[in-house]
Structures are given as C-alpha cells and as structure tokens.
Amino acid sequence: MSSSSSSYLAGALDTVATRWDEVSAMLAVANSMDESSLERQTICRATVVMLSSHFEGSLRMIAQAISNDLNESYSFAELPTPLKRGFVQDGLIRVDTEAKKLGQVISRVVDLLGTTNVMISDSFFLDRRGNPTVKEVNSIGQYFGVDKVCSWFVGSKMEDVFKNDRAWAAQYAKRLATSTRKNVEAFPYSLHPERYQLRKNSGLGTSLFETFIENFLQRRHDLAHGRGLGTPAKSVREIQDDLRKVQLLIYGFVLVVGNKVSEGRQTPLIIGGTVEEES
C-alpha cells in the first residue's frame, strides 16, 4: 500500500483531481476577462495544451499506480502475463532481437524472473514516451489484459457526455470521481464497469471517445507547433466540455482496467456504489 495505507491508485486519483482543479482555475481566470481580449484568447489556448498534458500525465500515473498495487500484492510470477511480458520486452530488452526469436527470449526471461523477488519498475509507465493517442491508451490497457480498452466505451453511459448537456456532464463527472475514488481505497478494487454499460466491444463500431481523442490531440499539436494562432481559440465552454470528456475517459479507464486486475479477488462494493446507485 501507499504510505497513507490507501492503495496507490487511490493516491493517484487524489492527484488527478488536482489536475482537473488546475484546468478549472485557468478557465475561471479566462472567464473573468473580456471575451474578445487577447489575454482571454491566450489563456484559452494555453489551457487546451494544459488539459492535454494532464490527460497524458493522468493516464500514465494511473497505470503506474495499478502496477504498484499489483507489485505490493503479488510476486512477479503471479502478475498478469501481459504485464510481465510487456515489462520484459519494453523495460528490459534494449537490443534488437529477431522477431521470430523475440517471443522465446521474452518467455525465458519471464520464467527466470519468476524465481526472483523482482518487481515492475515504479517508473515503468511514467517513463513511457508518446502522445496519449487511441493506440497508446489501448496499448497501456493491454499490459493489464484489457484488449482495446477505448472500444469498451461504445454504447456506454460515458458517451452521454457527447449530448453536450453541460449541467448533467458536470454533475456526472463529479459524482463518478467520488464513487470511483471510494471503490479503489484498497486493493483488490471494488469496481463494476458493467454498471456503466462499459463492455468489451463485439463489433459495435468506434467509440465517440476515440474520435474525440484524435481531434483533441490534433488541436493540441497544432497549438504546440505554432499552427493554431490564425484561428479563433476554443471558448471557455468548449474547453469545459473537453474537460468533462477527458474526465469520463480517465475514470472509465480506471473502471475497466481496475476491474480486470481485481477479477476473482473483489470484495463487495464499499462506500458509494456507482453513480446510478447514489441517485
């Protein structure tokens, strides 16, 4: 457990909450300025980049926290197979290896490490590079045995955020954050993604979140590389809409991946239940 006796994931979500607060603080400053002012436009552009940064940082922090909770609860041999193999391939093997031999090499190293007390590095996910694209989000989910985690959002309650009911989205994100945090207080976590209609995709198409991620990151890329100054900045409301989408995406990721690593080890739902149960 973390130093506070809560799970590492609980601590990570506390930090993630401060990330959202920072974005909201920037938007509050922008909102206090004249709508057509250069200062407001500048802050809005900067906030888009900040939100993208916090999305990436939150994703990596959460993955690392889940890995740390697994480290603390199990030996290397007992960890999820995709995590063990991914750690060996991406964290230990730093030389070119023939593709046909790579699988054999990984298996041998995994077997060898299974006889030791080695743990997944506490910076394994934090040290990853690259933007949090759909491919990257899915890749991180795969380390924990979840295939194409972004596709789990198809038809889920989370997709209601695209109806742009701002009052609903703000309340739902807040209550989802509270209920998710309470149900990861200890490992194994007490998470139930099916209660939010988060399910493995069976050919149902592409999630609205997948399209959102790519468009959102393209906007950030344009701004970071000086290509967005000729177009109007996103409004405060539009950035608030993006914030809610990022929040639901992050908490949905926690629900799916956290449930996967807790399968067969879960305790009954603790305080808070789901958002629906609190209604």
Res 278: pLDDT:
40
Res 196: pLDDT:
94
Contact 213, 133 (CB under 8 A): yes
What is the percentage of the chain residues whose pLDDT exceeds 70? 86
The rounded radius of gyration (Å) of the Cα atoms in the chain is 20
Average pLDDT over residues 55-74: 96
Sign of CA dihedral 160, 164, 168, 172: positive
Res 219: pLDDT:
85
Decide if pLDDT at 277 tops 50: no
Q: Which of these, 273, 108, 68, 115, lies nearest to 190 by C-alpha position? A: 273
Average pLDDT over residues 163-180: 94
Per-residue pLDDT of 74-105, as tens digits, reads: 999 999 999 998 888 887 765 555 556 777 77
Res 271: pLDDT:
41
Decide if pLDDT at 173 tops 70: yes
CA–CA separation, 83 vs 62, rounded Å? 15
Decide if pLDDT at 220 tops 70: yes
Which pTM value belongs to this model?
Answer: 0.88
Res 227: pLDDT:
67
What is the helix, strand, coil percentage profile of the chain, to 5? 65, 0, 35
Q: Which of these, 27, 54, 278, lies nearest to 166 by C-alpha position? A: 27
Average pLDDT over residues 20-34: 96
Is pLDDT larger for residue 233 or for residue 133?
Answer: 133
Contact 141, 149 (CB under 8 A): yes
Per-residue pLDDT of 118-157, as tens digits, reads: 888 888 999 888 889 999 999 999 999 999 999 999 999 9
Mark residue 59 as left, alpha or beta (left: phi above 0; alpha: psi -120 to 50; beta: remaining).
alpha
Average pLDDT over residues 198-203: 79
What is the percentage of the chain residues whose pLDDT exceeds 90? 64
Please, what is the average pLDDT of the chain? 87
Least confident of 48-62, 185-199, 217-231: 217-231
Tokens 């999630």, residue located: 207
Domain ranges of the chain: 8-75+117-278
Is pLDDT larger for residue 233 or for residue 241?
Answer: 241
